[in-house]
Amino acid sequence: VEATIESGVGNVDSPDPLIGISITSDSKNFSNERTVSMGKVGEYTKRQIWHKFGRQPRFVAFRITVSDPVKFVLIALTASIV
């Protein structure tokens, strides 16, 4: 799963903010959150990719959270289904 976001949004108060993702198939019980960096100040080429979600049912929902109060722009969320 890859989130295309505006990267490099860190600031003085939050130098390396994190973005987290968790999944659910019943909209009530979410998996443990997995986090990656959103990019430090000026790190505009940082990619947010999560690997190995294992076997999932056909329909799942994703919950995206941001660790700090920084600018968050989600452009796309893509998944490679094998």
Tens of pLDDT along 34-68? 999 998 888 999 999 999 888 888 889 999 999 99
**pTM of model > 0.95:** no
Comparing CA positions, the residue from 1, 2, 9 lying closest to residue 66 is 9
Question: Are 82 and 41 within 8 A, CB to CB?
Answer: no
Residue entry with tokens 């198939």: 25
Question: Are 30 and 12 within 8 A, CB to CB?
Answer: no
Q: Measure the N-to-C terminal CA separation of the chain; round to a whole number of Å.
A: 12
Q: What percent of the chain has pLDDT over 70?
A: 100
- Over 80: is that where the pLDDT of 82 sits? no
- Model confidence at 81, pLDDT cuts 50, 70, 90, reads confident
Task: Please state, as a whole number, how many other Cβ atoms lie within 10 Å of the Cβ of residue 6.
Answer: 14
Q: What is the pLDDT of residue 28?
A: 92
Q: What percent of the chain has pLDDT over 90?
A: 60
